[in-house]
């Protein structure tokens, strides 16, 4: 969201207390945030709080500077998005009816014809479910207004999490360079059962794959995320759990066909012969492991889709890591291979940071230095988009 300008319109719901954190998170993602408050919102939080969070003066009333024209008119200074959060029933109804008697409703009325508008309704559930509100929502959606609301809890439609709102804002503001593409991303570890109570697995958490899936969806792709056995969650709309190697294999090889496959899961390389029941803990136990089939090579035999493989190595030289990535690319006829050394500090499994080398079928080598997995995911998807769209 770097360089994007957001008009954050805050109205008089108790959920307004969450907007300080929201404004800070939008700024952390690179957005320039301009706060606009209704009179009722000022009864909930002080304008100084939003001014501090955004680094910009709060617009409470329209002056001779015609702030609504500067930020929401058809000019070079206009916002890239008008976000009404929280949006009360009163404000929602005024927007639907074209009433512009508060700073937030005036900004929306000025910009709705040429600026994306997102509303985040918060109110009692009976109000939200009323025929009046539902008709207003249907009308606003028909005009292209995006409606984002949380689930009904305790008789109220509460504000979604800050993470969810930021993600949806990012999707709205993204370049959509992968719009219309269907992608399957596999992430996390798979397990192999020893008996009915024990299994073997690996240290993967799925964080890298989750970040890639979210970046793909933010940029317009329709994403299905197949997650292995991990406690991590994701904001991606379509998530399925595929814990075992067999389940993951079936999802990737025999599931719906996709345009893009990102095989970032740490699939089990070996499997034991499973014992029914529970193996006795008395005495020694030996496991005989046999190799599993390589999912990526079997997948290539069945599809011409764009395939991204991953190569995790441990404590080898940079040169050797790159050579092994190139070898994997050629052996599996992949379109891209992302390689990293999980033996190095703060890289790979269980960390929030990573460093990777990307080898592409056209011979391009891209190095993404140590940074957050979200930044690494952006770099990986950038390279995918470059390959797909050229």
Residue 10's nearest CA partner among 52, 57, 42, 32 is 42
pLDDT in tens, the chain (390 residues): 888 999 999 999 999 999 999 999 999 999 999 999 999 999 999 999 999 999 999 999 888 888 888 899 988 889 999 999 999 999 999 999 999 999 999 999 999 999 999 999 999 999 999 999 999 999 999 999 999 988 788 899 999 999 999 999 999 998 889 999 999 999 999 999 999 999 999 999 999 999 999 999 999 999 999 999 999 999 999 999 999 999 999 999 998 999 999 999 999 999 999 999 999 888 898 999 999 999 999 999 999 999 999 999 999 999 999 999 999 999 999 999 999 998 888 887 888 999 999 999 999 999 999 999 999 999 999 999 999 987
Q: Is 275 exposed, middle or buried (0-12, 13-18, 19+ CB in 10 A)?
A: middle
State the CB neighbour count (10 A cutoff) for residue 296. 21
pLDDT tens, residue by residue, 27-64: 999 999 999 999 999 999 999 999 999 999 999 988 88
pLDDT for res 346: 85
Residue 203's nearest CA partner among 186, 188, 192 is 188
DSSP line for 227-267: E-S-S-----SEEEE--BHHHHHHHHHHS---SEEEE-SB-
pLDDT tens, residue by residue, 269-323: 999 999 999 998 888 989 999 999 999 999 999 999 999 999 999 999 999 999 9
pLDDT tens, residue by residue, 88-100: 999 999 999 999 9
> Which residues does 105 contact at the CB level (< 8 Å), separation at least 6?
91, 94, 95, 99
Distance from C-alpha of 266 to C-alpha of 350, rounded to nearest angstrom: 12
Domains defined along the chain, listed by start: 5-173 (3.40.50.1950), 182-271+288-388 (3.40.50.10300)
- 32, β-bridge pairs: 5
State the CB neighbour count (10 A cutoff) for residue 130. 14
pLDDT for res 83: 98
| Predicted TM-score (pTM) above 0.85 | yes
Distance from C-alpha of 104 to C-alpha of 61, rounded to nearest angstrom: 10
CA 387 to chain centre: 21
Distance from C-alpha of 287 to C-alpha of 303, rounded to nearest angstrom: 35
């Amino acid at each position: 969201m770097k360089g994007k300008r957001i008009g954050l319109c805050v109205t008089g719901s108790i959920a307004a207390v969450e907007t300080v954190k929201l404004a800070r998170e939008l700024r952390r993602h690179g957005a320039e945030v301009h706060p606009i408050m209704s009179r009722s919102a000022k009864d909930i939080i002080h304008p100084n709080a939003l001014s501090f969070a955004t680094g910009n003066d709060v617009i409470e009333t329209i002056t001779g500077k015609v702030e609504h024209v500067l930020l929401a008119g058809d000019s070079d200074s206009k916002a890239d998005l008008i976000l009404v959060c929280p949006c009360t029933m009163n404000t929602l109804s005024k927007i639907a009816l074209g009433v512009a008697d508060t700073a937030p409703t005036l900004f929306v009325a000025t910009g709705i014809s040429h600026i994306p508008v997102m509303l985040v309704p918060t109110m009692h559930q009976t109000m939200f479910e009323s025929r009046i509100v539902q008709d207003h929502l249907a009308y606003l959606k028909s005009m292209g207004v995006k409606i984002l609301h949380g689930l009904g809890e305790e008789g109220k439609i509460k504000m979604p999490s800050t993470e969810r709102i930021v993600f949806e804002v990012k999707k709205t503001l993204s370049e959509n360079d992968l719009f219309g593409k269907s992608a399957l991303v596999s992430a996390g570890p798979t397990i192999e059962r020893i008996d009915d109570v024990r299994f073997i697995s690996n240290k993967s958490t799925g964080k890298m794959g989750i970040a890639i899936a979210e970046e793909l969806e933010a940029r317009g792709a329709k994403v299905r995320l197949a997650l292995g056995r991990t406690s991590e969650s994701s904001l991606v709309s379509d998530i399925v759990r595929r814990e075992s190697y067999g389940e993951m294999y079936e999802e990737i090889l025999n599931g719906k066909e996709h345009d893009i496959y990102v095989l970032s899961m740490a699939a089990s390389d070996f499997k034991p012969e499973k014992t029914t029941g529970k193996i006795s803990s008395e005495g020694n136990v030996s496991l005989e492991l046999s190799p599993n089939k390589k999912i990526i090579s079997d997948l290539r035999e069945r599809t011409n889709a764009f395939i991204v493989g991953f190569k995790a190595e441990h404590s080898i030289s940079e040169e050797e890591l790159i050579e092994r990535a190139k070898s994997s690319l050629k052996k599996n006829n992949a379109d891209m291979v992302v390689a990293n050394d999980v033996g190095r500090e703060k890289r790979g499994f269980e960390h929030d940071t990573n460093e990777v080398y990307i080898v592409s079928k056209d011979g391009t080598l891209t190095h993404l230095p140590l940074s957050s997995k979200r930044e690494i995911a952006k770099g990986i998807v950038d390279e995918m988009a470059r390959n797909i769209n050229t």
